[in-house]
């Protein structure tokens, strides 16, 4: 069986990102799990990674450049997944205080201040709302981000 082409791989990356966002929306709206600041940040990186992959699929040029951009975006998301896992691992007395909803942040603070607070996370990010096989949502998201980054790197190093 031949390996997928560059375009097929980019379409696969896009489809994986779309599936991740659909799962996140299902968990939020059907299961009632409220996303924390870091969850929202991770969603942005999933959307960014998927958008780059879709653009690469449509453009069909610059395969190595798009692969590198996908890898960087996915590794950025992996950083925030790791940060949330770290917050979840803290002893209860070391967990930061919970903050206001994100909508409030953007209403009251400047964009830069609100964005900084979102990227730092808070006590809400330390709460484990759901897990599967002993891994919480950011654990599974980290695995997905690492897989997407690996596919991006593969696009960079493979023959054209």
Evaluate whether residue 129 is within a structural domain: yes
Residue 16 · residue 47 · CB < 8 Å: no
CA distance 39 to 126: 11
| Mean pLDDT for the chain overall | 87
CB neighbours (10 Å) of residue 159? 4
**Helix (H, G, I), strand (E, B), or coil: what is residue 34?**
coil
CA distance 26 to 69: 28
Evaluate whether residue 118 is within a structural domain: yes
Evaluate whether residue 1 is within a structural domain: no
The CATH number of the domain where 131 resides is what?
Answer: 1.20.1550.10
Residue with tokens 């780059």: 52
Evaluate whether residue 127 is within a structural domain: yes
Evaluate whether residue 149 is within a structural domain: yes
Domain that residue 12 falls in: 6-90+97-157
For the stretch 36-89, pLDDT in tens is 888 888 999 999 999 999 999 999 888 899 999 999 999 999 999 998 888 887
CA distance 79 to 158: 25
Closest CA to 53 of 76, 71, 77, 80: 71
Structural domains in the chain (count):
1
Structure tokens at 14: 């896009």
For the stretch 90-105, pLDDT in tens is 777 766 666 677 777 7
Evaluate whether residue 65 is within a structural domain: yes
Task: Give strand ranges (E) for the chain.
Answer: 131-132, 135-136
Averaged pLDDT for residues 114-124: 71
pLDDT number for residue 99: 67
CA distance 112 to 65: 29
């Amino acid at each position: 069986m031949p390996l997928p082409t560059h375009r097929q791989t980019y379409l696969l990356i896009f489809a994986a990102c779309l599936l991740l966002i659909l799962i996140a929306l299902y968990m939020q709206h059907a299961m009632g799990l409220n996303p924390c600041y870091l969850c929202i940040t991770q969603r942005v990186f999933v959307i960014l990674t998927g958008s780059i992959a879709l653009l690469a699929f449509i453009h069909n040029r610059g395969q190595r450049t798009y692969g590198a951009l996908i890898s960087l975006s996915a590794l950025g998301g992996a950083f925030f997944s790791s940060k949330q896992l770290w917050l979840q691992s803290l002893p209860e007395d070391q967990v930061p205080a919970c903050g206001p909803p994100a909508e409030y942040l953007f209403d009251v603070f400047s964009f830069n201040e609100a964005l900084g607070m979102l990227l730092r996370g808070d006590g809400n990010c330390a709460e484990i709302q759901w897990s599967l096989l002993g891994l919480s949502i950011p654990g599974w998201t980290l695995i997905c981000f690492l897989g997407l980054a690996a596919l991006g790197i593969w696009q960079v190093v493979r023959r054209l």
